[in-house]
Structure 1
C-alpha cells in the first residue's frame, strides 16, 4: 500500500472541517477534485473511510485511524523539511503567506525586494485572505505564516499552537470627505453625527472600530457596510460618509479624501503568526527580519505588543 501525502492532507482537512466543500476551500481546490482524490484514497486503502450524513461527512472507524496517523505523518514531514532547511547552506525554500490588501500593497513589495537581494533562494508566495481567516490557515497547515492584527481596544485571542513576531505598530486615522473637518485633528466624538462606512461587526476591523466609537460615547450610524478598505475609501471620496484607515491603508487613498489625525489614537499591532513547530525554520526568520526592516523604513517599526 502506498499512501499519497497529498491525499492524506485532504483527509486531514475533511476530519477538521466536516464537509468536502469546506476542506476544498481550505486547500484551494474544487469540491469535485477533493471528492475524486478521497475516493482514490479509499481505493488505495481498500476500505471505506467516510460516509455522508446530509451535507456533512463522518469518518468511519477506519477513516479515523488513518486520519490520526495522517496527523503524525504530516507532522513528521514538516519536521523533516525544517531539518533539511537547517542543513542546506543555500537556504533554498518556498513559503506561503496569508496577507490582506494593505499589507500586500504597502509592506510586502519592499520586504520581498530586499529579501530577494540578500537571500535569492527564499521564495514567498501569497494568498489574500481576510485577517480573520489567516491565523486558522496557519494553524491548519495551509499556510506557513500569516499577518495578523491586534487592536488596542480589541486584541485577538491567543492561540497556543501559534507564535507571533511583532512587525509593525500602526495608528488609525479618520478618513473624511475633503473639507469635512477644517482642523488638523478630530475626535471620534466629533464624528458621531456623520454617516459611517465600515466593515461588518464580525470582521476584526469592524468590531474594533465599533468598540472605539462606543468608548467615545456613541454608536456609529453605518450607512454602508463594506469589507474592503479600498472600497470604503472610494465611498468616502464620493462624499458618502467617514471611516477609519490605518497607516498601511493610506496608500489606497483616492482623490477627494482628507486624512485627519485622531485626538485619542486607536492603535493596532501587525504581527506574523507561525506554528510553534516551525520556530526553528531559518528561512522563516529571514522573512520576518526582512518584513520588520520594511516596516522600520516606513516609520512603523515594531515595538512591544499592545496590551
Structure 2
C-alpha cells in the first residue's frame, strides 16, 4: 500500500473540520477535487474510510486511525523539510507569507529589500488575508509564516501548534478630519460624540477598538462600517468621521486628515507566526530582517513568545 502525502493532507483536514467543503476551503481546492482524491485514498487503502450522514461525511474507525497517523506523518515531513533546508544552510528558499495592508505597505518592503541584498537566494512571496485568517492558514500549511496581531484590549487566542516571534509594538492614534481636534493629544472619551468609521465587530481590529471605547465608558457611534483601513482613512479625510490608526497604518494616510496622539493609547503587538515544527534557517533570516526593519522605524520588539 502506497499512501499519497497529498491525499493524507486532505484526510487530515477532513478529520479536523468535519466537512469536505470546509477541508477544501482550507486547502484552496474545490470540494469536488477533494472528494475525488479522498475516494482514491479509499481505493489505495482498500477499506472504507468514510460514511455519509446526510450532507456530512463521517470517518469510519479505520478512517480515524489513518487520520491520526496522517497527522504524525505530515509533521515528520515538515521536520524533514526543515532538516534538509538547514543542511543547505538556508541560502536558497522560497517562502510564502500571509500579510495585511498596513504591514505589507509599512514594513515588509523595507525588510525584503534588505533581505535581498544580504541573502538573494531567499524568495518571499506574499498573500494578503484578513488578520483573523493568517494564523489558521499557517497551521493548515497554506503559508510558511504569517503576520499576526494582538491588541492590549483584545488578545488573540493562540494555537499551541504555532510559534510566534514579536516583531513590533505599535500605538494606536486618533485619525480625525483636518482641524476637528485642535489639541496635540486627545483622550478616547473626547471622541465619544464624533461619528466613527470602523471595521465590523467580527474583525479583530473592530472588536479591539470597541472594547477600548467601552473601557473608557462609551460606545462609539459608528456611521460607516468598512473593512479596509485605507478606505476608513479616506473617509476621515473627507470629513465623514473619526477612526483609530496604528503606527504602521500611517503609511496608508491620505492628505486631508490629522493624526492626533491618544493620552492612553491602545497598543498593538505585531508578531510572525510559524509552525513549531518548521525551524528553517531561511525563515529565521526573514524574521531577523523584519525585526530590523521594525526597529529602524522606531517600533520596539520584545523577546520571542513561547
TM-score by length of 1: 0.93
Q: CA deviation at 1:263?
A: 1.6
**1:111-260 alignment runs, 5 A limit:** 111-260=111-260
Distance 2:246 2:119 in 1: 30
Residues 186, 262 of structure 2: 8 Å contact kept: yes
Distance 1:201 1:90 in 2: 41
Residues 269, 305 of structure 1: 8 Å contact kept: no
Structure 1 residues without counterparts, runs of 5 or longer: none
Residues 90, 280 of structure 2: 8 Å contact kept: no
Distance 1:32 1:167 in 2: 40
The alignment status of 1:281 with 2:276, answered yes or no, reads no
Aligned residues: 305
Structure 2 residues without counterparts, runs of 5 or longer: none
TM-score by length of 2: 0.93
Q: CA deviation at 1:281?
A: 2.1
Please, which moves more after superposition, 132-141 or 9-18? 132-141
Residues 92, 122 of structure 2: 8 Å contact kept: yes
Match of residue 101 from structure 2: 101
Please, which moves more after superposition, 5-14 or 154-163? 154-163
Post-superposition CA distance 1:39-82 (Å, at most 9, x none) = 22223223332223233321122221221121111111111111
Post-superposition CA distance 1:139-196 (Å, at most 9, x none) = 3333222111121222223432222211011111111122211222221111100111
Q: CA deviation at 1:304?
A: 5.8
Post-superposition CA distance 1:110-166 (Å, at most 9, x none) = 111211221122222222222122222223333222111121222223432222211
Runs (4 or more) in structure 1 with deviation over 3 Å come to 303-306
Distance 2:180 2:304 in 1: 34
Q: 1:53 to 1:238 in 2, by over 3 A?
A: farther
Distance 1:112 1:264 in 2: 33
Distance 2:49 2:161 in 1: 28
Q: Over aligned residues, Cα RMSD in angstroms?
A: 1.9
Please, which moves more after superposition, 43-52 or 160-169? 43-52
Q: CA deviation at 1:90?
A: 5.2
Distance 2:304 2:38 in 1: 43
Q: CA deviation at 1:264?
A: 1.4
